[in-house]
Amino acid sequence: MTLWDGAGPDLHAQYEAIDWASTPLGPPDAWSGTLRGALRTIVNSRFPAVLLWGEEFVLLYNEAYVELIADKHPAALGRTAQAVFPEAWAEIGPLMQGVLDGGGSFRVDRTLMPLHRRGFLEDCWFTYSYSPVQGSDDRIEGVLDIAVEITSMVLAQRRAITLTGLADVLAGATSPQDLRSRSLALLRGITDEFAAIDLRLPGEPVDASYGAGAGLPLEPSAALVPTAAYVEETAAGRVVWLQLGQPAPGEEVPVLVARQSDRLPFDYHYRHFLRGVANALTQALTRIELLASERRQAEAERNVSVALQRALLTPPPEHERLAVAVRYVPAAHVAQIGGDWYDAFLQHDGSLVLAIGDVAGHDLAAAGTMAQARNLTRGIAVATVDGPAKVLEGLDRALELLEVRSIATAIVARVEPLERLEQLDPEAPGDRWRFVWSRAGHPPAVLLHPDGRTEVLAAGGETILGVEPDTVRSDLAVHLPVGSTVVLYTDGLVERRGIPLDVSIEELCAALAAGAHLDAEALSDHLLSTLVVPSEEEDDVALVVLRVLS
């Protein structure tokens, strides 16, 4: 029997092949009982262990330890620790000596210890302990090193953190250029993984100064294949190219190019990590392109909606005694373009009809429904001498019969001369007009009296259109003296996130009173500039201002 019978066949043969007499330990039959017993113990262990024996710290180790030192085996067997680990000796030498000198055992957790074990200086992490091995006379003869390599765990954790961080920074990217800037700001800082890294965008100039200084070629030495990494050895080191996505015929896609840190093995785990980086970038680029496509589509719909609305929202009729100003302001956000509309026209008896409404929805379909509702209102009102309530009742029934599946709010009003109605009041000689309205769930009109007082015409407010087509609606009326102003509007003028509607309507009244001296056109602009913040408007705005001139 030999002292290393517990070792595997290869390690056993290597123990046998060593001329132990030429080593600091001498021939095995001269070894102390302490060394013999310790060696039998470790060679039978399945846990990585090494004896660092004598003042020279000669290595004797088991099968499990061979994996830790890789290419250093078998030359390490029977040699001194300083000769085997020159790259780590400055760190481990004093620690071994301290144990040998009686300083006691100790443990080191998760420590970086670069080793030359695969032809290059490799970043390795270990948890290990040094313990004294004492002889029968209590003299410390050597050091027992129990070690666990945790390199794979450390790298996996580091790479998971990197990918998580990359996902976080990419979440806010709004363009390929922004994505490139964000990702490289992170990845170029991880020098333990990448000696250099770049993201090449189609049609964008390559940062030649960075590439040359970092050892990155301007282009690969061979054609790239989608989904496959292309690896080339350059004078500066190993460079990996990855296409981000599948290019269509005749098109180019972004390319990730990285020079690996020269202190890491180019193994499955590194390739998997690099593929994870590429996938994160590809997914973010895809998301950006989808959002851009959606924005283009939404912008196209917005343009159609605005064009449709502007085509339908015709100028008001001219009137010698009444001034009417109208405005339409699209929402700042593409998705909020909707179904706001207004109208102003004369009936055959000379009465002026004003209408304003808001169809539910913020898309091209809402704009189409708006067009139908606006034209139906105009047709019904022109074809009848009935009041606003009957017009709204007819509109509700028409929407139902025509299967226009939408809901809407609206106000229809008729401005009638009192002299024609023979309702002139001798005690109120200034009253010249009657304002008759019916309201279907729409924000109330506001009346500005000639003396500057404001009055919210809140009466009515019956069921919105499209809910119950048989709703019986009512007309309400108020006299308008010369100098009176009535404002009709859609909710985009007054609704504000977090502000009650009654408060917003009070703000409208205040703005209206402040602009009482203005004519109808100037007053319209004043209301919009006072109440609508262009960068914050979340809904489109329709506005009708009526001023009684005489």
Rounded mean pLDDT, 357-369: 73
For residue 49, is pLDDT > 80?
Answer: yes
Highest-confidence segment of 11-25, 247-261, 285-299: 11-25
Give the pLDDT band (50/70/90) at residue 362: low
Given this model, what pLDDT does residue 336 score? Answer: 45
Residue partners of 182: CB distance under 8 A and separation at least 6: 169, 170, 172, 173
Q: Which of 437, 431, 392, 432 is nearest to 414 (CA)?
A: 437
Give the pLDDT band (50/70/90) at residue 405: confident
How many angstroms separate the most distant Cα atoms in the chain?
Answer: 139
444-469 burial: b if 16+ Cβ within 10 Å, else e: bbbbbeeeeebeebeebbbbbbbeee
Given this model, what pLDDT does residue 40 score? Answer: 96
Given this model, what pLDDT does residue 335 score? Answer: 44
CB 203: neighbour CB atoms within 10 A?
A: 6
Of the CA atoms within 13 Å of residue 16, those in its CB half-sphere come to 11
Give the pLDDT band (50/70/90) at residue 349: confident
For residues 229 and 240, what is the distance between their CA atoms, to the nearest angstrom?
A: 6
Asked if residues 206 and 218 have their Cβ atoms less than 8 Å apart, the reply is yes
Conformational region of residue 381, where left means phi above 0, alpha means psi within -120 to 50, and beta covers everything else:
alpha
For residues 112 and 188, what is the distance between their CA atoms, to the nearest angstrom?
A: 21
For residues 85 and 69, what is the distance between their CA atoms, to the nearest angstrom?
A: 10
247-284 burial: b if 16+ Cβ within 10 Å, else e: eeeeeebbbbbbbbbeebeeeeebeebbebbbebbbeb
Asked if residues 381 and 355 have their Cβ atoms less than 8 Å apart, the reply is yes
Helix, strand, coil shares of the chain, percent, nearest 5, are 40, 25, 35
For residues 433 and 532, what is the distance between their CA atoms, to the nearest angstrom?
A: 31
For residue 443, is pLDDT > 70?
Answer: yes
Mean pLDDT of the chain: 90
Compute the residue count for the chain.
Answer: 550
Rounded mean pLDDT, 376-387: 85
For 403-475, list the strands marked E by DSSP. Answer: 408-417, 431-440, 445-448, 454-457
Residue type, 302: R
Rounded mean pLDDT, 504-513: 95
Rounded mean pLDDT, 452-471: 90
Could you tell me the strand order of the sheet in which 125-134 lies? 58-61, 49-53, 140-149, 125-134, 106-112
Check: pTM over 0.85? Answer yes or no: no
Q: What is the pLDDT of residues 479-493, one digit of tens each?
A: 999 999 999 999 999
Give the pLDDT band (50/70/90) at residue 420: confident
For residues 202 and 208, what is the distance between their CA atoms, to the nearest angstrom?
A: 15
For residues 162 and 170, what is the distance between their CA atoms, to the nearest angstrom?
A: 12
Give the pLDDT band (50/70/90) at residue 350: confident
Q: What is the pLDDT of residues 60-90, one digit of tens each?
A: 999 999 999 999 999 999 999 999 999 999 9
For residues 123 and 307, what is the distance between their CA atoms, to the nearest angstrom?
A: 65
Given this model, what pLDDT does residue 538 score? Answer: 64
Given this model, what pLDDT does residue 311 score? Answer: 67
Asked if residues 50 and 65 have their Cβ atoms less than 8 Å apart, the reply is yes
Sketch out the chain's domains with CATH numbers.
9-149 (3.30.450.20), 155-290 (3.30.450.40), 313-548 (3.60.40.10)
Asked if residues 474 and 460 have their Cβ atoms less than 8 Å apart, the reply is yes
Q: What is the pLDDT of residues 286-338, one digit of tens each?
A: 999 999 888 888 777 767 766 666 666 778 999 999 999 999 887 765 444 56
Rounded mean pLDDT, 384-413: 88
Rounded mean pLDDT, 518-536: 89
For residue 388, is pLDDT > 50?
Answer: yes
Rounded mean pLDDT, 330-351: 75
Percent of the chain with pLDDT over 70: 92
Give the pLDDT band (50/70/90) at residue 546: very high
Token readout for 319 is 């009137």
For residues 324 and 544, what is the distance between their CA atoms, to the nearest angstrom?
A: 7
